[in-house]
Structure 1
Amino acid sequence: MTDKKDFRMSTKGFNWVYSDYSNLIPYHSLPIFTGAIQACVFNEDSNQAHPHGKTACCGKSADPEFYFTKTQICCNGTVHNRHGKQCCDGELYDPEISICCNNTVHDKENRVCCGSKLFTSDTHPVVCCGGKLHNSHQSCCGGQELYDESSQICCEYKDSFSIAENKNRDCCRNRSYDIEHQHCINGQVLGFKEELCGINKYNTSEKKCCDRTLYNMPQFLPDCCGSNLYDISQSQCCLGSKKVVPLNLQCCGEGK
């Protein structure tokens, strides 16, 4: 019986690959990653499990092996079960008992890797922050600055961060905001009377948003029909066509 991982065929000029973790796909259309050679990844940077179960390939470009990044790891061109394992410059190790520092595996007991330097520390707790080791109960925000979790809040987003007092505060990406007077919508801090219409901020007491189109708040009782604003006391919205018609007419068709 043919092993699915090794099964290949040629159809209409394309090479096809079948793996246990993916459907039959054109070999030439496999995703190309940084460091890839002939569509295969020598994936030593696979310690982070992909949350959506992405399929990648591992090994020699002439004979790649496909693996499921959520449950498996590629190290030194070989696929392993991910549980309890990480890769350190091609060497497989157990992070519970060992530590990888500057691409070298060391015993973990009383050792801390900070930046690219290995430290031996008998004092606890210690925290690595800003490339330096600190004897501190504090935490590290953005990998750069110490903060006190009991009185401060750290807001991190991508490569930026900020620290603020934590009373009545929450994070909106890399910014903190006052939860008693503000809210966070799509990464923007807005007042409670503010919303977003597309990318535009507006005051809900002054304007109404219909499908990313802003209108000044009218004197009549308004509603939206697609991007159109209408007076519900005089008109109605035909849902199927998104057309506004007088109340004395009937809508016809799907979604009337």
Structure 2
Amino acid sequence: MERVTMTTPLLMFVLLALPCYSATGQINRFGLPVSAHSRDFYVRSPGDNFCGKVKFVISGFTCCERQLHMGAEQSCCGNRSFYLTQASCCGGQLTLNVSQLVSDCCGSRAYDPLNQLCCDSQILIRTQPHSKCCGKELYNEDNQLCCGDVVKRKVLTKMSGHHRCCGDHQFDQRSHCCCHITEPSYQLNPKPLNASCCAPAIQEVLHTIPPAQTGQHMGIDQSSPKCMPGEKPCGQCACFNPTTERCCVNPTSLQGQSYSHDQTCCEGTLCHTPDKTAQGHYHGASFGSQVYNPDINICCSGKLSNRVPGKNLCCGTTPYGVEDRGVLCCNQTLHRVVEDGYQCSPGGYLYLPSRDMVCGSHVHLNDPGKHCCGEDTYDPQYEICCNGHKHNRLRNVSCCGGKAYYHSSDQMKCCAETLYNLQVQDRLSEEAQCCGSVLMEAGSTQTCCSAPGLDLVYPTQPGFTCCGHRYPNSSLWSCCAGVLYSRPETQTTSKNMIPGPRLLPLGDLKTEVLCYTEVLLGTVESVSMKTNERSIVMVNAMYMLASRGHVNPLPSPHYVTLPDHCSSPVVEPGNTYILMKIPFSDTIRFISDLSDHSSPVHSILSRC
């Protein structure tokens, strides 16, 4: 099996996703809320391109604890590598077939909290949408109680909505209280309200301020300072008047201090105009900030320099002027150049266009007809560039990630820039289907759940069905257009959980469907709802019969109506789709999202 880098972007926000994470200095490449447990796995191979003492290419390998693994942009679980979409890492142990994007950890095992719960280090099947743990058991707090101490817990059926726990028993708080009995041994027992031990409990209830009346429940931020009328909080310990002052917050301590409007906050360091006293002395600023006078100093990236007329720009920590001769600022570094014509490359490298060609971080001498391919140059007449790797240009050769292959071959399959050899997989091309970058197993052992830009594979389970990229138990959850809702206990079936048409990759569309059926191709401009129908406005729409080369442009805008909003897949404005009418019906079903194809028409015609 040949693997190349996965670059599938994730663009969809879904309900019931866990908190979003983006570490300092990093970008969450998935673009949507993901499991908090995936936060430790965005950092992959070291940035110096060395694995131990071995130099490696990051576009083809991943380094985990000095061990090199084939496949790029993987995460590490100890010294093992894995893809976040195909496995999870908990306590240094890998769990396969559960994506880190939707999983949580139960000790060293991963589980899907949508359908399971971790109770006392045991993974249990969720029986209700909002089940909770009671020791090693599950309970529903609507009609059950979890009573007992931490060591021994048991589930009791609520006798009424007024019943509460008292030790391992329950009591009606309208007629009883829970008493601490110390003799002969410490225990909790329900007693009538007229019992002497109930007096403290009654007084406590009478003097307790309801939570709704506390500042927290009244929308007051308890961490904010109490400010005078007309003032606003500045950090966690100061106030300021927004009409006469400005607020500077120290990003490390989150403490703030107010200053007059002629003072300045400089990149998190407080650099301000000091107040001059009657004796002519300048007061210093607090929070460790430097004191400077903007009439005689300039502050560049927290460094103070003497101000020189005309030098009002900063290049890193160095001040300079736009009219200065012989200097050029590239990537916050000031260069001295001896002749005119030098420029900065997009990567911040200094070069002379008449002599040099910059490819990535490498500067090459200009060669007529050559272009950049990654860090190297290539001749597009005789070579093809695939993700920074050059290959000989041959007939019917296309790119799949960084590899070149014959797209008409029955022996190779490209899944989201990951290339598979079907002979190695012992698979026939007709039964090979992609789920994002994963080649699915033959038969019905796996299910692919798709959201715009995100595809995850799950082991097929009876009674489960896709809702966006999640795979919920349909007896617990209902789904509408990729959004999950908890299902009432009395409702066990719903038409909304009937799987709608899946957005298949272009490579999975059968030739007779793609080439010999009239399909509608267009870009979604907007989507709206009317009762249970979904109305779609498309632009640049056309009907195509690829086998005959027929293309019939349609008036713009073109309107499409889907009769059932909930059972239809989510479509994103700005994305381009193929739609197809069901034979002998006006019903439209979606086939493929072509937004990642630079020329959708060419992509279709090249297949036919």
TM bin, normalised by shorter chain, reads 0.3 to 0.5
Question: Which structure shows the higher strand fraction?
Answer: 1
After TM superposition, the score normalised by the length of structure 2 is 0.22
Q: Which has the higher contact order (CA 8 A, sep 6+)?
A: 2
Which of the two has higher C-alpha Rg?
A: 2
Question: Which structure shows the higher helix fraction?
Answer: 2
